[in-house]
A and B are shown apart, each in its own frame.
Chain A
């Protein structure tokens, strides 16, 4: 074992290597490692958030679905009611119309009857007058008894 100046040289080499490692090797790698650790932590947090968001979105969609279903049921019920109303209205209208038609027909019939009766009356009057004329021709002058004849006509 002979110690010589090599020791000094080796110590200098060692010191240079330590300095170099301190300056150029250690900090960048440690920085990269820490950066990666941070990225992973962020990624995990983001995944967790994403999972929670998904749960919330699922809840929301379920709520929306239920709401839509309720609304649809409501609309169906409403339309059912409206259908009944429309049918009812139509029935009423039809009844009214029918009554009106019937009333009109009745009125026409009455009128017709009146007219017929009038005509009949005139005819009977004429006949009566004609009959009376025939009877009275011999003894009664039409002009002299026109007053009498008119009163008979009105009575008929």
Chain B
């Protein structure tokens, strides 16, 4: 158990679920989320860019092969979903998958590792997994939401898009209902995207914290299976976020 967590269990849990914050009211910044995600994003995307810069069309090395496998997986998903030109959706989907995966992977580090290390330097709180912060998941899903509208209007023009919003699915006579349905449908997209990722990761992290409350000699019995299971969860959640983004954007590209 962490020193600064105090003796009570609820204090320990509460400590682990508190962000390192700066600012007041809405203008509060969760520094741990911002720093961790930026650091890991730069690291992993930088690695990809480094591989891409040295990419050879000849026999690839191990690292390039690994990057190619991930990229081709994403490309296959995009090609299977999109009927026409997918434009920037491939890079977008790759960014989502890779970034969400590494951020989720922070979950596999021992829950006390980073808070304890940083605590030694006088940092009071540190939530190590950015995807357990709804600010992060909503930031991503709202960006996707913005892109959905951007592509809707870009592909169908404003008139075509408005026509679609007002006439699908019940026809022009039921325009208000169509609009209402459309609003619900579109708002559900970012909310479900963000809450699904957040919920899964938050719950997973919570279970890790609860396991950390067990006596040291018992932790491995639950900790190991949960961590192994979590390897699946973090990959799956990253994949789901990516695939849903691809599907939403392909819907934005197609006329009903």
What is the distance, in angstroms, from A55's C-beta to the closest C-beta of chain B?
Answer: 30
B26, B27, B139: which contacts A14 (Cβ < 8 A)? B139
- On whether the beta carbons of B91 and A22 are closer than 8 Å, the reply is yes
Q: Count of A-B contacts with CB under 8 A? A: 127
A6, A21, A27, A29: which contacts B29 (Cβ < 8 A)? A6
Main secondary structure of the interface of B (DSSP, over half): helix
Contacts of B94 in A (CB 8 A): 21, 25-26
What is the distance, in angstroms, from A27's C-beta to the closest C-beta of chain B?
Answer: 8
A1, A3, A25: which contacts B52 (Cβ < 8 A)? A25
- On whether the beta carbons of A18 and B30 are closer than 8 Å, the reply is no
B48, B57, B133, B138: which contacts A21 (Cβ < 8 A)? B48
Residue interface mask B36-51, A partner, CB < 8 A = 1: 0110010001001101
- On whether the beta carbons of B55 and A4 are closer than 8 Å, the reply is no
What is the distance, in angstroms, from B248's C-beta to the closest C-beta of chain A?
Answer: 15
Among A16-31, those with CB < 8 Å from B are: 17-18, 20-22, 24-31
- On whether the beta carbons of A6 and B99 are closer than 8 Å, the reply is no
Contacts of B56 in A (CB 8 A): 32
Binds A, one of B67-75, B114-122, B208-216, B219-227: B67-75
Q: Which 10 pairs between the two chains have the least Cβ-Cβ distance?
A: A10-B139, A35-B57, A6-B135, A32-B55, A22-B91, A28-B52, A26-B91, A4-B28, A11-B139, A6-B30
16 residue pairs from A and B, CB less than 8 Å apart: A4-B25, A4-B28, A5-B23, A5-B28, A5-B29, A6-B133, A6-B139, A10-B135, A13-B37, A14-B143, A17-B95, A22-B91, A25-B48, A29-B68, A30-B75, A32-B60
Interface residues of A (CB under 8 A from B): 1-11, 13-15, 17-18, 20-22, 24-33, 35-36, 39
